[in-house]
């Protein structure tokens, strides 16, 4: 039943089964609870209910606040006490063309009207940022439903269609300047679905919904994906079958020359465009892997086809053998060192898709792409499984990072002594206070890292920014380089000062630099800064989760004493007064 919440959607079935879907989803354990305020210019009840379902599917349990009908602006600007008391983690501004009062003004130009509407939104964003310090998700606007001037509407200097075009551009530009602002691209969704399907005039007149029920589903899904992305829950790795998935035909039977790929045929061109789309995902940071029932050397040959856009070197892991695909998918996750819930599996064979779904009980995402290559790209794109809200330099280099790690793993096998291996890596770390230039990456790390994460603390960009100037905090990042390449910014530690005590409330590290003693260097630098601030006692907490057992004893290993050992929380303490801070001979400290 939960597949109803996967693209493509059947809105009628979702509406009919939404109560039973919610009951089923609430059976999940370890749900992340988040407070979401929906400020609506139109009716929002159905939007709220469907956002709730999509978020539950992503293991997020939402608590909601809804403004009074049409009071999206007044609720914030006039300091509504119930919203202040609610303390939202996210604010979603759900408005539509019906809320743009200046559209009917024939005395002003389209640009003037757009500026008036933008100024109102901008004042709203500033007030939200000042009062709530939380991410703001802002709808842009769909084209007008009617055009009284016909085609001339697109040329007229005061037309609604041009007002909306100017306003959408201004909102888009604002998201690049305001860290807390995220765009919900309502305009693009409307264009995909079609304006006639997007609006339901009868529903507007009877219940003041600005959308059709079908459009509510698509918009709600989109909002949920933005929230997932902000929380670091987007997928990381695309696992691909080969035959009839990346090319037509069977490479083992047809050979490189016989597979269908290229612009000579419509089907061949469709495979080509699907490869092109995958290549673009890879270039912006999605990890690519192959999982195919094939002979390895034969499977590789497909990427030597003269028209193939994807090459063997584009894949971080390449599994072509006769083992069950579930085993290979498990091995892919272990080799890259990411969770199964970070994987998306694409296969033209419905039997293989079903086996993987059942084997992993939904943990591995398996889109229902069908068996028609002309649909693969659109279904994967509309599913928005790799949704992002920004791109960091680390994202673009992610495939390189993981390939460098594979080289390190091979190299390590030539050493009998692990310490000798670490010293031979010629490692350099840059450890320093948080910097504005790394704001996006620091935020990303706090929301994505799960294994080496002692407190599971998540932070928004606004919270990271505040910590940079907070005199009662010590906040450090670490970058790591070695003979095989640059790992990028991979670790954070942060502590809050209370008189002469320091409490470490965040300590995390990317899985790609596990077991290289960077954690030692980072902690030692924090302790040095604590001593400089006359700190006498440093305390650290560990909150056990299903994924962070790897760091359950790290404080004890670093010389801390345990002072509280509860099932849900362990507290450790280090007295700094007579403590001699060690050095880490494996890693040299150096500014990059």
Residue-level pLDDT at 592: 66
**Residue 414: how many other CB atoms lie within 10 Å:** 8
Q: How far apart are CA 207 and CA 204, in angstroms?
A: 6
Give kind and range of the element (H or E) at residue 305: none
pLDDT band at 448 (very low <50, low <70, confident <90, very high): confident
pLDDT, averaged across the chain? 93
413: pLDDT confidence band, cut at 50, 70 and 90? confident
Strand 570-575 relative to strand 537-542, pairing: antiparallel
The Cα–Cα gap between 252 and 302 comes to 10
| Residues in contact with 552: Cβ distance below 8 Å, sequence separation at least 6, in sequence order | 542, 544, 570
Mean pLDDT of the region 17-29: 93
Instruction: Identify the helix (H) or strand (E) that includes residue 294.
Output: none
Q: Average pLDDT in the 329-342 region?
A: 91
For residue 218, what are the CA distances in angstroms to 8, 53, 278? 9, 12, 23
Q: Are 318 and 290 in contact (CB under 8 A)?
A: yes
The Cα–Cα gap between 233 and 444 comes to 10
pTM summary value: 0.86
Q: Is there a contact between 590 and 428 (Cβ–Cβ < 8 Å)?
A: yes
Whether cis (ω within 30° of 0) applies to the bond prior to 199 is no
* CA separation for the pair 341, 46 (Å, rounded): 28
pLDDT at residue number 444? 86
Q: How confident is the model at residue 26 (pLDDT cuts 50, 70, 90)?
A: very high
Q: Tell me how far CA of residue 494 lies from CA of 142, 147, 209, 464, 564, in angstroms.
A: 43, 56, 45, 10, 21
pLDDT in tens, 77-88: 999 999 999 999
* Residue 330 phi, psi dihedral angles, 5° rounding: -60, -45
φ, ψ of residue 87 to 5 degrees: the values are 55, 70
Q: Which of helix, strand or coil describes residue 435?
A: coil
| Residue 278 CB neighbour total at 10 angstroms | 22
Burial group, residue 53, by CB count within 10 angstroms (0-12, 13-18, 19+): buried
Query: What is the spatial distance between Cα 319 and Cα 296, in angstroms, rounded to a whole number?
Result: 7
Residues 6+ apart with CB under 8 A from 91: 36, 37, 39, 128, 132, 134, 135, 136, 137
Lowest mean pLDDT among 405-414, 437-446, 472-481: 405-414
Helix, strand, or coil (residue 137): strand
Q: Using an 8 Å Cβ cutoff, are 142 and 96 in contact?
A: yes
Cβ burial of 3 (10 Å; 0-12, 13-18, 19+) is exposed
| Range 45-71 average pLDDT | 97
Q: How many CB atoms lie within 10 A of CB 279?
A: 14
Q: What is the band of 449 on the pLDDT scale with cuts at 50, 70, 90?
A: confident
Which pLDDT belongs to residue 388? 86
pLDDT band at 130 (very low <50, low <70, confident <90, very high): very high
Q: Are 493 and 451 in contact (CB under 8 A)?
A: no
Average confidence (pLDDT) over 292-317: 95
Count CB atoms within 10 A of the CB of residue 22: 13
Q: Which tokens in the block code for residue 221? A: 């899904």
Q: Token match 């089923």: residue?
A: 24
Q: Could you report the per-residue pLDDT of 191-237, keeping only the tens digit for each? A: 999 999 999 999 999 999 999 999 999 999 999 999 999 988 899 99
Q: Look at residues 346, 373, 159, 181 and name the one whose alpha carbon lies nearest to residue 270.
A: 373
User: Which tokens is 123 given?
Assistant: 């004042």
Q: How far apart are the C-alpha atoms of 315 and 305, rounded to whole Å? A: 16
The candidate with the shortest Cα–Cα distance to 25, out of 64, 63, 54, is 54
Determine what percent of the chain is predicted with pLDDT higher than 70. 99
Average pLDDT value for residue range 274-292: 96
Which residues in 518-543 are b (16+ Cβ under 10 Å) and which e?
A: bbbbbbbbbbebbbeeebebbbbbbe
Cα(584)–Cα(427) distance, rounded to whole angstroms? 11
Comparing CA positions, the residue from 252, 402, 260, 243 lying closest to residue 325 is 243
**Model pLDDT for residues 369-395, shown as the tens digit of each residue:** 999 999 999 999 999 999 988 777 777
Q: What is the DSSP letter of 438?
A: G
3 state SS of 182: strand
CA 538/CA 575 separation, integer angstroms: 7
**Which one, of 463, 566, 576, lies nearest residue 527 by Cα?**
576
């Amino acid at each position: 039943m939960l597949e109803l919440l996967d693209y493509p959607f059947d809105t009628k079935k979702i509406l009919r089964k939404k109560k039973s879907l919610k009951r089923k989803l609430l059976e999940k354990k370890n749900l992340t609870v988040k407070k979401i305020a929906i400020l609506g210019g139109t009716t929002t009840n159905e939007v709220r209910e469907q956002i709730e379902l999509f978020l539950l599917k992503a293991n997020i349990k939402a608590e909601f606040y809804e403004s009074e009908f049409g009071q999206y602006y007044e609720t914030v600007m006039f300091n509504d006490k119930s919203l202040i008391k609610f303390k939202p983690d996210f604010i979603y501004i759900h408005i539509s063309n019906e809320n743009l009062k200046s559209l009917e003004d024939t005395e002003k130009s389209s640009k003037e009207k757009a500026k008036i509407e933008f100024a109102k939104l901008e004042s709203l964003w500033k007030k939200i940022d000042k009062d709530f310090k939380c991410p703001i998700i802002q709808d842009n606007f769909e084209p007008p439903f009617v055009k009284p001037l016909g085609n001339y509407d697109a040329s007229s200097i005061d037309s609604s269609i041009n007002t909306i075009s100017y306003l959408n551009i201004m909102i888009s530009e604002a998201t690049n300047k305001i860290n807390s602002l995220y765009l919900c691209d309502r305009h693009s969704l409307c264009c995909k679905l079609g304006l006639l399907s997007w609006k339901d005039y009868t529903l507007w007149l009877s219940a003041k919904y600005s959308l059709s029920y079908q459009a509510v589903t698509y918009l709600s899904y989109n909002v949920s994906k933005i929230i997932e992305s902000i929380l670091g829950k987007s997928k990381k790795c695309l696992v691909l079958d080969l035959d009839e998935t990346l090319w037509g035909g069977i490479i083992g039977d047809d050979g490189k020359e016989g597979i269908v790929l290229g612009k000579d045929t419509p089907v061949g061109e469709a495979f080509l465009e699907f490869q092109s789309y995958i290549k673009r995902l890879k270039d912006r940071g999605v990890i690519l892997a192959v999982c195919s029932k094939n002979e390895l050397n034969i499977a590789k040959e497909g990427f030597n086809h003269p028209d193939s856009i994807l090459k063997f070197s584009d894949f971080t892991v390449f599994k072509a053998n006769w083992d069950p695909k579930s085993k290979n998918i498990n091995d892919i996750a272990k080799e890259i060192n990411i969770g199964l819930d970070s994987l998306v599996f694409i296969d033209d064979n419905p039997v293989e898709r079903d086996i993987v779904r059942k084997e992993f009980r939904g943990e591995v995402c398996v889109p229902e792409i069908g068996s028609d290559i002309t649909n693969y790209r659109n279904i994967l794109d509309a599913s928005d499984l790799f949704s992002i809200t920004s791109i960091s330099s680390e994202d673009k280099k992610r495939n390189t990072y993981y390939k460098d790690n594979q080289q390190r793993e091979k190299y390590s096998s030539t050493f009998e002594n692990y310490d000798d291996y670490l010293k031979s890596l010629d490692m350099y770390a840059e450890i320093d206070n948080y910097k504005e230039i790394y704001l996006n990456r620091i935020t990303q790390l706090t929301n994505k890292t799960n294994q080496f994460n002692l407190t599971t603390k998540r932070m928004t960009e606004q919270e990271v920014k505040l910590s940079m100037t907070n005199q009662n905090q010590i906040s450090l990042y670490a970058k790591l380089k070695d003979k095989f390449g640059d790992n990028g910014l991979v670790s954070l530690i942060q502590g809050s000062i209370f008189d002469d005590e320091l409490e470490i409330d965040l300590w995390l590290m990317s899985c790609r630099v596990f077991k290289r003693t960077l954690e030692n260097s980072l902690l030692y630098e924090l302790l040095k800064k604590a001593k400089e601030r006359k700190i006498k006692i440093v305390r650290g907490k560990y909150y056990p989760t299903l994924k962070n057992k790897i760091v359950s004893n790290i404080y004890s290993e670093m010389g801390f004493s345990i002072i509280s050992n509860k099932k849900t929380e362990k507290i450790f303490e280090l007295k700094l007064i007579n403590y001699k801070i060690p050095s880490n001979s494996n890693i040299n400290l150096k500014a990059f």
